[in-house]
Structures are given as structure tokens and as C-alpha cells.
Structure 1
Amino acid sequence: MRLQLKLVLLFLSVSIVPFGIIGYYTYTLSAESMENHAFVHLTSVAHTRADYLDSWIIYIQDNAEVVAGAPSVVQNLEAMEAANSSSIEYRQAKKAIEAFEDLAMEGYATFDEIFVLDSGGTIVASTNKNIIGENRSSREYYREGRHAAHLTSAYISPTLDIPTMLVSAPVRSGNITIGVVVCRTNFNMLHATIHDRKGLGKTGRAFLIDSNGYLVSGLPDDAKTIPIIRNISENYCGIYTSNGKEVLISRVWMPDQKWYLIVEQDRDEVLHSLNMLIERAIAVIIGVIVLIGIFSIFTTRQITKPIERLHVGAEAVAAGDYSMQVPVITEDEIGALTRRFNEMTSELDETHRKLRNRIALVNRDLENQKSKLESILQSIPDCVFVTGTDFRIIMANQACKNFKGVPEEEIIGKLCYDVFSSDACKPRCRLLETTGDDNGGCICWEMHITDRDGRSVPIMTCGAPLRGADGNVIGHVEVMRDITRMKNVTEELRRANAELELANEELKKLDELKTNFINIASHEL
């Protein structure tokens, strides 16, 4: 990866990471604060509506008590209790009560139905003619309504098939309960209160359920589930998932009616303003990051350009161009490094020039020495050759070539005992591998070698190991001398010695004859 790209990525990381961390914590804390505020608001709305419903329930209970305490109801019910059910007085009293019920229905729009039960629990008058005569003495609203105003739990009416609720109140004559007035409550006002979205935004909704989880009022069409009831008889705030969306919920417990008033709102709507702000902030951050990217590219280019020039200069120096000079375009640390690089290349160029001159001188001296050595080697009349450790000839003088009568290329690279054929050559050469430092490691032997004319020539050969600077054997040097003349001189000397010995024998014999003659002559004389 190029340095400029690394620096750009570093700049971007340094800018993005802080923005990301700050944005994350800002969003988290803001969302938590807005959720808490929403919980407070939803709880306030729930309490307000719960208080309003409590007032409404007290209102309908008061209305039921007013109906139960009306003189038309009390007096006519007393008359019906005293009269025979088939008498004219009974029928007149009944009609009077029913007329008052109709009047009460018109006066109290909160009731859908009003009926009166006598002391035995039988319906004696009702706005619904179909239920007159039924005995409801076992019903809760009758038993509780004999003592005080009573409100039943909401339930689904089997006849109307809608949620409904009954409020009952005792009809008293003095201190004696002579019957019970029962009013079927109209839920229009309750529904209007529950469905009112005021203060709940577009997705806010409220609904009313009893302690058993049955819906009393308010579940909108788009809500398919009712939140699970937890912490019975307690207020509750929290978040749950409905139809794949997170929903903020506030629940208020209404102990008198044993109802739960639930107010909820989609979390997305609660955080809508924050999300909009975050989107704008992200757009701004992206713009800032783009600007930072452009600035970082420009800045890193100013940093990397001198470094790239230094890199090119270093490559040139590595290739052998010591005259390379990199232009100094900055006055910072990189500029100082560039100046030092130029000084270094100048010093290297001067050193290299001096070294080149010195090497040229040394090479010239070596060539002179080599020429001298070759002249000396070539002037030696004896055959001198050098082999490697494998006994292959690597150099031979002119005497060797003349002796064998072959050109140089037929000698160089061949085994010495193949060039100078002799039965004694190979085993004697191999002795050089095991020769110690005695006599300098030199051994000599005599053998016969065939010369260029096919003659068997007596040769005296001396060989010694050739050692390098480290003392290790790197080859061998051998010298061959033709001893034919020496052999002839030796033979002549041998023959002369033999003739001299014969002459000495003859002289000894003559000397003995002379001695004997003298002795004989002396004796005779």
C-alpha cells in the first residue's frame, strides 16, 4: 500500500472515528432523554384521561341515583308493590314509571336503557319491552344495587353484541329498599375520550382493558394486539414490539373500576425530530469528511512527493548512479533529509571515483605481475601445470604443449593422468591428496611418458599441493623434467667406471708381476 493512501486513510480514520463515537453517544443519550420525556407525556395523558373517566363514572352513578330517587319512580313503585299486578292501579303506576324512564333517557344521553326491578328482582318496567317480567335477582347489579350505587365491569352484551356496562342504584322508601333502578351505560363518551388523539401525535393511541385483558374500548383498526399485562395493579412504562415496530407504552391502573388505561405511541414518531436532525448531521458530516479527504489528499501529496523523489534517488544510487541529486523543495525535516542524501551521494560518488582509480591501479599491477609470472612460467624449460582438487588441468606452460605436441584446448580441463599417460601417474598424483607438510608437502617420482613422437621418455615429476589464503588445498602444481640426457650421462659414467675398474685390475696384476720380478731378480743377484 502506498504511503499517500495510508496517510489519507489515517486522516479519514482520525476524522470519522471521533464523529462516529460522538454521534453514537449523542444519539443514544438524546434518544433516551426523548423517550423519558415521551414516557412522562404519555403518563400525563393517561392520568388526565383516567381522571376524566373517573369523573364520568361518578357522573353516571349520580345520574342513576337521581333516577332511582325520583318521586315518580319511588311513589309508583310503592304503588305497584301494594297493588295487584292485574289491577288498574298497578298498570297506571307501571305506565308512569315507563314514561319517566323515557323522559330520563332523553334527559341523560349517557344511558341506552333503563329498567326497574321490584324487591323480588323482577323487571317491572323497562325502556326495552322485551325484558319486562324477567327475574334478575341473581345478577350482581341487583344484589349490589340494593345497598348502594354499583357499577358493573364492562362486558359484551349478548343482545347488543357490543361492550357495555350497567350502573344500578337502590329505590328506597324511607329506609326500606323497595327496588333497584338499572341503567345501561352509553359508551359513546368513553369511546370519544379513548379515541381522542389530542396530544398523541399521528401514531398515538389509547385503549381501555379490564384486569382480565378484555378490551373495553379504544383498540384502533391498525392495532392487532393488546399489550401483555404485567405488574398487576401497578402503573407501568416501557417499550414493546407491535407489528414489527417498537412502541412506547404508559399504563395507568384505575383501581375502582379495575381497568387499565393504556396510552402508546410509535417510537419512530417520538424520535422523528431526532432522526431528522441525525440525518442532517450525517449529511453535514459526510460533507466534512469529503472536505477532509480532499484536504488530506492535498496535504499527503505535499508530504509524499519529496519522499517519492528520495525513493527515486535511492533507486538510482542503488543502480550505481552516484551522481544523483534530489532537488530540495521544502525546508522541513524532509528537506533536511534530502540535503543530507545529496551530501551522502556526493561523498559516495567521490569515494567511488577514488576506489575506481585505486582498483584500476591494482588491476594494472596485477596484470603486470600476471604478465611477469606468465613470462617466467613460459620461459621455464620444464613442463609445469596446475590442476584443481579433481586433478583436472587448469593451466599449463608452453613446454607441456611442446612435449605433447597438442594445442592448449586439448590439455585444459582434462585429467592430468589422461594427458600424460603413464601407469605410475595416476596413483602417484593421488598421493598428493594425503601428503602432509613434510618437505613442504612435496613428493617426487620417476616414470616414463610418451612424447609427441611416440617415444618413451624418462621423466622426473615433482608435485605439491596448492593452498589458498585460508590454508586449504585448492589444487596441485606439478613439474616434469626430461631426464633422458641425465640418464645417458649416468650410463656413460657407469660404463667409464666399469672400464676404469678393469684397468685398475690390470694395473694390480702388473704391479704384482713387477713385484714378483724384482723379488726374483734380487734373489738371483
Structure 2
Amino acid sequence: MYISIKNRLIFLLIVFTLLPFVLLRIIAYPRVQADLQEVLIRNLDGVGHKQAELVTSWVQERMKNARVIANNPLMVKCAKITKEDKDFADIVQYLEVVKDEYGYKGVLVSNDKGLVTVATAEEGIGTDISQMDYFREALQGNTFISNVFPSEIPLANELGEKELGMPTMFVSTPLKDRDGVVVGVVAIRVDEKTLNDLMLSLHLGKTGETYLVNKDGYMITESRFAAHLKEMGLVKKRCALELKLVNPETGELTSGVQQCIAGNSGFDAKGYKDYSGLTVLGVWRWLPEFNWGVIAEIDRDEGYGAAYNLNYIVSSVLLVIAFPIVIVAYIIGRKTSTPIIKLTEVTKKMASGDLSQRVDIKREDEIGELANSFNVMAKSLDEKTREVVESEKRYRELFNSIKEGIYQSEPGVEGVFTFINKSGAEILGYSSPEEVIGTKVKNIYVDPEDRRRLCEKLEKDGVWREFVSLCKRKNGESFYAERTSNMLRDEKGSPVAIYGVLRDISERKKAEQEITESEKRYRLLFDSLKEGVYQSEPEVDGTFIWINRAGAEVLGYKSPEEVIGMKVKDIYVNPDDRIKVVEKLSKEGVWKGFVSFCKRKNGERFYMERTSNMIADEKGKPVRVDGIFRDITERKKLEEELQESERHHRQLLNSLREGIYQCEPTEDGVFTWINQSGAEILGYGSPEEVIGTRVKDVYVNPDDRKELVEKLEKEGVWRDFTSYCKRKNGERFISERTCNLVRDENGKAVRIEGVFRDITER
């Protein structure tokens, strides 16, 4: 809508003239109002805190009384007492005195089975209370106060009449014998009226009140406005256990009650609807030891009355001042509007985008200042536009310098590339990003279903990290791609784009396949070995009494018959090894994995590994040695080859960009191995500088190491664990890792293995 310069000028004059008053209204007044409101909330919070302390003190006093009764030596008899016992009447009289002296409704004592053995007149002897929470808690050795609940026996109401279902509660404590064994329970039925009087003793203005609420959202003390609530039909007899504190507009618990029974302590200074539909200010404190909440509320209009009055005064003053100012502004606006119109044409040209335009008006007044301001604005906009263009150029150069591919696409299965950096285009076999933009993303997959799975995953979770799929380049060449993708949504939650990072991991996949093939070859080699099985006499000079064919062949004989009868010690290069075996077996009965240097029939020497057992008769006398052995000469050779293979694999691991490491499995464990990339990520020149240092020293928060060890102890693996770490020079970075806990055959943790990468840039 068009507004003339005259009217605009008048408006500006009015605005700037009234600005100090408006600022006073906007800044100073809200601060004063906020201070008043803060004082009220502080006072209200103090009331809630005081009431919570009074309730806690009230409960502790009754718990103390219960313990005093239970500690009376006479009470121990109550666990097994009967009406025929001579002390029964005295104990009942004692309980009656306690009840009347302390103003309780009743006192009872039960045995450890929950049967009431002695009680005051109101309580029934022989009643089974074993299912009551106050009995179970006391039987566990705790002094306990129950929730307020409807009485199971008629109790005197406000009119002195007996009524069933009156609000009541119990304080219970264990009854112990001289040895400290719990033999029963002492329970006191507390008069809830004293708790009501306590909560009603403090008034908050005309509309304020404090009350207790249980975990189900019911008021368990009387409201200050009980009579009014009866008139409204919210309660029939009393508020306790009858009035559920719900917002009448929503039918749900009031905001204060919801916060309170959730275990929170706090306040609401803005106001919420209470159980009667009034907007109130509230403070609440949850008492977890009793499962009660203390709530203090006051009508918002009464609480903020002083602040509202201040608002009326300030608003009235502003209206009185505004009228003459509008008249003066109108007169001045008419006189000064003509030269301002001259600025219109130049301003329109600037608005059309021609920022090279300048206003040529020379005046020594506000109009001249306005013209100068236009010129400064145009110059500033021109410079900022150039900076934005330059910044966009720098960011594109940065993206193109990254080795990983960075891309953005439309969110659907049929979506096309909308952006990709130069590295991404080269990975896909294109010479420039422009060739890729506009092509369908699903065309890069060997299996187009991978695109559908990716879209479904992003729709559900919003992100998919390290998704690996088989893709193809422009020329049809296949390669393995690893990517991390995210779904970008607008403010309404609708998908607008998918953006992510991709890399070619074909070489890594090839290395993994080579390692797998190597492991397969070695496994076949070990599976082809044949062990020798034998029996011999148990003495040092004992002979073979049986051997299998594989064992005979290991020893260089054609058949077992050639071996049977020859001395076992003759196969050792060092005959003392036979003495060691016999002594070890005589002492422990078994020797596993014993390695010795032996010789074949033709004198050829070889390494033998054996496991032997001493067999004894029923009297414990050795009768023979059973054992299994194998020629491990080839294994020794294979171990050397495996060491060479391991060296090759370590070189391969050192060529990877990710950090790979092994460490001790404890919280204070040290690095036992790390590849070159891992050492460089941590800021070291070589793995040797890292090995032997504590792993937890790389964490900014050492508790992250403790959390990782506990997680691995429990689950054995933790994938994509992210933590804040630091390099050797103290520089901080974000690390993402996947770790495994390696255990031996006995289930004992021997080391932690893991892969980590620096994801700070990501």
C-alpha cells in the first residue's frame, strides 16, 4: 500500500518523539513489572518451601513416635501375645494412652505374618494386614508412612459421626527382639485433620492456598475453599481423596500437578488453569520420600495486581502525551515533505538493483543527512553483495578441494543431483560437476533398489551413516561406495533435499577380501594336520604300548608295530625331557601343550607338541600315560610366514585413512598397537610415540573412556561411538569410533580393537 512521504514523515516524527516514552514503556516498565512478579513468585516459593519443611517435620515427628513405641521393651511380647496373657490389658492400656496423648486415631501391633495381635479399641485384633504397604515396608526394617487412603473401618468424621472411607494414613516401624530380628510391626493410624490444619494454617491473600497432592493427582488435604467447591459441585463431602486436580477445560491434570507428580520442583510465573477453572500462579515441590507434592497457588489477578495497576498508569500517561505531539508532527511534516519527494526517483532506482546510483542533495539539515544515509546504504549494499559472491566462490573451492564427494539431491527415489563437488564428479567418472547435475541419482547404483532403501531409511531416521553399496561410474565400471546421507526438511517437516558425503572404498574392500582369503588358506592348512595318539608305560624308561598310524608316520616309521615296545625317551633329542614329563604328570596328572625337540627314525629332528595324561588305578598307582602329539615343525615355519603376512597386513592397515588400534581392556589401559593414520590423527609422527601411552589421555572428558569400557564389558561391541578428543599438542577434535572387546577361550578380556576417524569437518 502506497503512503505519501508527508504522512510517512509525520509518522516518523511521532515515532521518534514518542520513542523515549515508548522505550520507557517497553524496557523500564517490563523490568519493574518483572521485578514485582519475581518478588511475588519468590514469596510464593518461600511459602511452598516452608510448607514442605513443615510437612516433612510433621511426618518425621510421627515416625519418631512410632519408633519410641516399638523400642518399649514391653512391646516385644506383642508379636506373640494373646488376650489370655496377663500383660495383654496393660499393653492395650498403654497403647490407648499413647493414642490419646498424641492425638492418633488408633495404634496396632502385628506379628511377622501380618496378623494384628494387639490394638486400640478402633482397630480389629486378628485382622490380616500382610498385604498393606505399610506392613511390608516395616517388615523390611523401614520406618514408613503410607499414602492417604480411604479407611477400611468407620472413623469419626468432621461431625463426630462414624463414617467408612474417611481419609486416613498409617506410620509403621519394625518391632525387633533383643537380637535385632524383626518379629512384628507397630502401626499408628494418624489423624489426617492435623495435617489439614497444618496446610490451612498459612493464608495467601484472598485467593491463595496450599495443599498436598498424591501421585495420582488427588488432593489429600482439605482446600481452603472447600465450601465453595461443594457449591460448585466439584466435591460432595470433602476435598481429600475426592477432588482430582484436573483442568475443567481439558479434563487433564493441571499443569502444576503434572509437573509436581513427575518428580519436579518449580514454579509457573505465567499462570495456568487450576481445578476450579481460574488462572493461577503456582509453586510446587515434590517430596519423594512420601510420594506427596506440596502446591501453593494464588489467583494471577491478585498476585500481579500491583503490576497490572502500574500498566494502567503508564499507558494513560503515554496517551495524554501523544495527542499534542501528533499535532506538532503534522505541522512540521507538511513543511518538510516537499524536498523529501525529490529523493523518491533515486530511491526507486536503488530499489531496482542499480546500487551505483547516488543521491545528489546538498543540505545542512535532516534531509541532507537522509540523502547521505542513502548514499552510505547503497555503498554498503554494493560491498556486501561483492563479499557474498566472493564468499560463495571460496566455499565452492573448499568443497572442490576435499577428496570425498559432497552432493545434494532431490529427496525422492527419482530425484536428481542438484549439487556435487569436483571430487564427487570424478569418483562417478565425470570430468566436471555440471555433467552430473540433473542426472538421476538411482542411475549410479548397480542395484537401483539401493536408492529406494536409502530413501526409506532417511524418511524414517533422517540419517544413514556409512551406507555401503555397489555403484557404477559413467563408463560402467563398478566400485564400492561408502556414504553418509542426511534428509533436510523444511519448517513443516516436508523433505526438501538429501545431502551427504561419499567415498570410493574399492581398495579397502579389496584389502578386506585378501585378508579373508589369507585366513581361509591358513584354516585349510591347519585342518589338514593329523595328530598322533599314543599310550605308554608310566616310568621314565617306559615303552610305547600303543600308537596310531599318524603317530608312527610322524616318528618316521611305516607302521605302529615298529614303534610299540621302543622306549619313549629315545624319541627325544634331550632325554631329560622325558624325565620332566613323568615328574610333571606324577605331580599334576596332566600336561597340556608341552613342546620338545624330538627325532625321527632316520635321525631327522623336529618339534613336537603334546598333551599327556597320567592314568592311575583305583589305588592311585600310575598304570600308563595317554597322550596326543603333533609335528609342529611345519607350524613353526608357518608361524614365521604368518608373521611376514601380519607385517604385510600392518603395512596395508597403515595405508588406510582411518585410525586402527589395539589397547589393554581396562580404563587405564595403554595403546599396544596403532597404525600410522591413527598416530597422525592423534598428532604424533609415528605409532611408536603412541604405543604405551594411556588411551584415556586422548579424551577431553576421561569419563568417556570409562563409559566405553563398561559398554564393551556388557555388550562386546560399540559402533559409531562419538567423543570429544585432543591431539598431542592439545588441539581438540571430534572422533567417531567402532570398538570390539576380544576375549580368550575362557571369556577373559584380553584387548580392545577399534577403528576411529576424525569427523570434526563432517
The normalised TM-score by structure 2 is 0.34
Structure (1/2) with the larger strand percentage: 2
Higher RCO structure, 1 or 2 (CA under 8 Å, sep 6+): 1
Higher helix share: 1
TM-score by length of 1: 0.48
Name which one, 1 or 2, has greater alpha-carbon Rg. Answer: 1
